[in-house]
Each structure stands twice: as structure tokens, then as C-alpha cells.
Amino acid sequence: MVLTNMTQTYFDNTKLSDYKVCPRYYYLRHVRGWRTSGTAMPLIFGLCWHEAMNIVWVGYARVRDGIITKEDLIETAMMAFESCWIQQGMKAFSDLSMQDLEMLGARTPMIAKEMLINYIEKREAILESMELLAAERPFAVPLYPDRTDV
């Protein structure tokens, strides 16, 4: 975002980073307003990861209470990941070819499952002892509560 008053123009981190990467890219994106269509792969993977995390944080109490196993929790989280994945226009896990997997790079469903396993393993003490109040709730924090010109 560029904020302008009568004497100064301000550039945000996105604009500065884009210019550092490529001045032409900066010009096309921020001056001409051109954008790519669709959702970028990192955003799709991140969105699906958050869906899986929601299952882990909410569902771990069932593991703690002995109702389900960690493996069940991981499989349920992966089902949420895949559901989101397909909703975002990606192929079902079973339909991914080797070429598809190469194109995805590090953002594959198998990597997501490995991440889930490691996430739970590394945070097991926290998950065992915590009391969940809410998961994935939006919030806003005022950065400059005393300023009125922002």
C-alpha cells in the first residue's frame, strides 16, 4: 500500500521487495495494476495446512482422552487437508502423477502428512497439557492505538 499526503509518498514492504526482485515486475504490478489470475500454490498449501491444524488443535483432546489414536487424528487432519486441496482446484491425492508431484515441489500431500506427524511429535507436551479456548479465530490488533492519521 502506498500512502500519500501532499508532501510524501510511503512504500510498504511488498512494493519495496517487489522492486528489489525486478523493477519491471514492480512497474507491472504496482503502477499498471496487473495481477496473475488464480491462487498461488503456496497460498493453497497454506490454506489447506490451516484446515489440518484446526483438526489437530481441536481434536487432540480426543487423543488425550483415549477416544482416538494419534494416527486417527493425523488421518482426519489429512482428510481435511485433501478436502481443502480439492476445493482449491487441485487434483485428488490418488490422481496425482509423478509429473504433478515434481511440479508441486516441496508442497505435496506427502510432505503435509510428514509435517503433521512431526508437528504433533514436537508439540506433544503442549497438546497434552493445554486447554483449548479457540482455534483459528480472526482477530485484529491496533498497531498505533493513539494515532488518528493512520
Under DSSP, is residue 3 helix (H, G, I), strand (E, B) or coil?
A: strand
pLDDT in tens, 26-61: 999 888 988 877 788 899 999 999 999 999 999 999
Q: Which of 54, 24, 28, 32 lies closest to 116 in space, CA to CA?
A: 54
CA distances from 47 to 42, 57, 81 (A): 9, 16, 9
pLDDT digits (tens, 9 = 90+) for 63-92: 999 999 999 999 999 999 999 999 999 999
Cβ contact 36:118 at 8 Å: no
Count of CB atoms situated within 10 Å of the CB of 70? 16
Q: How many other C-beta atoms are found inside a 10 Å radius of the C-beta of residue 104?
A: 18
Cβ neighbours around 80 below 10 Å, total: 19
